[in-house]
Structure 1
Amino acid sequence: MIPYGRQDISDEDVAAVVATLKSDWLTQGPAIPAFEQAVMAACDAPYAVAVNSATSALHIACLALGVGPGDIAWTVPISFVASSNCALYCGATIDFVDVEPDTGNIDPAALEAKLIDAERSGTLPKVLIPVLYTGRAHDQARVHALCSRYGIKIIEDASHAIGGSGEGGEAVGSCRWCDIAVFSFHPVKIVTTAEGGMAMTRDPELATRLQDFRSHGITKDRARLVEPDAGGWYYEQHSLGLNYRITDMQAILGVSQMKRLVPFIERRNEIANRYDELLASAPLTRPPLVRGTGAVSAWHLYVIQLDPANDGALRRAWFDGLRARGIGVQVHYIPIHHQPYYQQLGFERGMFPAAERFYNGALSIPMFAAMTDDEQDRVVAAIGEVAGETC
């Protein structure tokens, strides 16, 4: 089976992890700040806080921005549930903004209309969580301008997008257009630490809060201690934090992986461009390529669109047919507001029509940096076979 995504682990990665296993530090050692420094350098951001998952990073991002009971957060329906769950963990209320029909990213026009209505009704959100779906940056400048107008903070869920850039070549994770950006290092992502995440920011106060929240709310910073420093063992808890710490074993894998971030992104773009050529005559809609703006997609996912008629029946036929041929296609994502839990909160099908139409036709085909041209040719050939049977 050719999977839709797969980690790329080199001999150097293995050697780095083994060396850490033989060192004095398995957790909370020097590999964690080294990993943070590597990501900061890649993103041109001054602060990074590594944690055990992107879900944890989203949670502490909400906490750092003071999201709590009585607050409202908005995100998009086309994402994994973590993008909205993070606000619910804090006791906030969640709502959604519809997506662009071609990219699956937040629709700035829909956002603007929703903000106008929310201002009239007194229901403006405290935070917006746009998702950089598939690794492609949304219209960050426009979204930032809209949120600034209404005093709304931004957490970019950039779980798909490390190594990518927005218009003008601004690195995703630089936080020029947001207060906090979050990365994922799950095995199917661009860079992996097995499990792991990171929160980026340009704000030193937010960085301190993020650091506190990832480790029980505890600090040993002598400049921040309330009581006199009793000795080298002394620490204080200043907030109700969590145990979201990443290990040195994971972090050193991240350090090693980050050395190959540029070739990972280059190869993913090669694969995307080749798909664009090989699938030009297939009965499907290819994802739009990023051209002429200085932006670069990280291409975490390559999502084709099929005719969404009959509530996704064609997509089901393609899914089953390709899986039967050893092509590990997947669907990203079931709209969050379709989930039974969210329907218990009052959401209904039909509320976000562009997201629902996008979902009904979406199919992720294999995309990973280690994918060979022969494997890609197998995927394209299988698509041709299934298309011949179903169209």
Structure 2
Amino acid sequence: MIPYGRQSISEADIEAVVEVLRSDFLTQGPVVPHFEQAVADYCGARFGVAVNSGTAALHIACLALGVGPGDWVWTSPISFVASANCALYCGAQVDFVDIESDTGNMCAMELERKLVVAKKEGRLPKVVIPVHFAGLPCDMKEIYRLGQAYGFRIIEDACHALGARYHDEPTGNGRYSDITVFSFHPVKIITTGEGGMAMTNDPALAKTMRLLRSHGITREPADFINEPDGPWYYEQQMLGFNYRMTDIQAALGLSQMANLEGWIAKRSEIAHRYFETLAPERLPRYFSAERRSAFHLYVHHVSPEQRTVTFQRLREKGIGANVHYMPIYKQPWYQKRALMPHPHTEQFYAGAITLPLFPTLNTVQQDLIHAYLISTV
């Protein structure tokens, strides 16, 4: 089986993990802050807050921005359910913005149209979560402009997009958002096994998210509310969670960072070969100075009538095809909320099929995938 995605683990990665296993700290030690600093330096952000999943990062990002009951959060329907669930965890309501039909990203024009209506109805979003689908950055300049005009905060869901660039600047630098979130699941660009990170340039947001990831507890005397009753004293100052990343995970992530640029280059090379043979008209959108994708996924489109048979035949040949994503509002739990379908989302989903893409995918395997794909049409 050729999977749609897989991790790359080197002997250096293994040695980094073993070194932590032999150390005094398996968690809450020195490696997590080193990993946070490495990712922050790479992205050009001031602060990184490491947690145990991308979902946890989305959750504490929403909480840090004050999302709660009575608020609206808007996101993309073409994403993993965590992009919407994070707002529901806070007691907020969720709605969706239709996508660009050729990229799967939130459409800024659709966002503006929806904002005009929402302003008249008095239900503007508190937070908008654009998703950099498959690794391609959204039109963040325009989304940021709308945020300034309509007063919403922005969380970039960049779980697919570590290593992507927008106007030749790294995703995660915070120029057009309050917080950016990454995921380090094994099929993502780098992995910590499970893990995530929230990036921000705001020291207050970073401080709040660090409290939230560890039960809302601080041991910093300068931050205490009450008078300490001894040197052992600590305070729980908010209702937080156990979302901490271990030093074991951070050691793996820190080691993987050394390969990030090489893996992005390899993913780009593989994606370029796919585009050349399957969809050359889409090359300019994905290989431009404006947006450089991290190519977490390669999503091909076939006719809706051919999708099921294509998927099944690829699987029968040992090709781990997948589909990204069933629109979130089609999930049974969300159907209870009677959310409206979106035309571009429906069209995108109807023919989408994800082909294998990972750094160690070789040209022989890719040519085999292409041959089997063409034979099913």
How far apart are 1:347 and its partner, in Å? 1.9
Residue equivalent to 1:247: 246
Tell me how far apart the structure 2 counterparts of residues 172 and 109 of structure 1 sit (CA, whole Å). Answer: 21
The Cα offsets for residues 28-66 of structure 1, whole Å up to 9 and x where unpaired, read as: 111100110110011000001000000000000000000
The Cα offsets for residues 50-95 of structure 1, whole Å up to 9 and x where unpaired, read as: 0000000000000000000010100011001000000000000100
Residue equivalent to 1:368: 358
Residue equivalent to 1:333: 325
CA contact under 8 A between 1:54 and 1:183: conserved in structure 2?
A: yes
How far apart are 1:294 and its partner, in Å? 4.5
Which amino acid in the other structure matches residue 139 of structure 2?
Answer: D
Which amino acid in the other structure matches residue 60 of structure 1?
Answer: I
Tell me how far apart the structure 2 counterparts of residues 307 and 385 of structure 1 sit (CA, whole Å). Answer: 14
Show the 5 A alignment for 1:105-254: 105-166=105-166, 168-254=167-253
The Cα offsets for residues 246-303 of structure 1, whole Å up to 9 and x where unpaired, read as: 111101000000111100101100111111223358xxx8676423425311000000
How far apart are 1:373 and its partner, in Å? 1.5
The Cα offsets for residues 101-135 of structure 1, whole Å up to 9 and x where unpaired, read as: 00000011100000000000001010001100000
CA contact under 8 A between 2:162 and 2:171: conserved in structure 1?
A: yes
- Output the aligned Cα RMSD: 1.3
Show the 5 A alignment for 1:1-391: 1-166=1-166, 168-279=167-278, 289-308=285-304, 313-348=305-340, 351-387=341-377
After alignment, is 270-279 or 54-63 more displaced? Answer: 270-279
CA contact under 8 A between 1:67 and 1:90: conserved in structure 2?
A: yes
CA contact under 8 A between 1:287 and 1:304: conserved in structure 2?
A: no
The Cα offsets for residues 304-344 of structure 1, whole Å up to 9 and x where unpaired, read as: 11123xxxx31111000111111101000000000111111
Unaligned runs of 5+ in 2: none
Tell me how far apart the structure 2 counterparts of residues 374 and 109 of structure 1 sit (CA, whole Å). Answer: 41
Which amino acid in the other structure matches residue 5 of structure 1?
Answer: G
The structure-2 alpha-carbon separation of the partners of 1:385 and 1:279, relative to structure 1 and needing over 3 Å to count, comes to same
CA contact under 8 A between 2:134 and 2:295: conserved in structure 1?
A: yes
Tell me how far apart the structure 2 counterparts of residues 338 and 21 of structure 1 sit (CA, whole Å). Answer: 43
The structure-2 alpha-carbon separation of the partners of 1:222 and 1:273, relative to structure 1 and needing over 3 Å to count, comes to same
CA contact under 8 A between 2:299 and 2:352: conserved in structure 1?
A: yes
Which amino acid in the other structure matches residue 82 of structure 1?
Answer: A
CA contact under 8 A between 1:279 and 1:286: conserved in structure 2?
A: no
CA contact under 8 A between 1:327 and 1:379: conserved in structure 2?
A: yes
CA contact under 8 A between 2:67 and 2:87: conserved in structure 1?
A: yes
Which amino acid in the other structure matches residue 148 of structure 1?
Answer: Q
Provide the TM-score with structure 2 as the length reference: 0.97
Provide the TM-score with structure 1 as the length reference: 0.94
Q: Percent identity?
A: 54
Tell me how far apart the structure 1 counterparts of residues 10 and 47 of structure 2 sit (CA, whole Å). Answer: 28
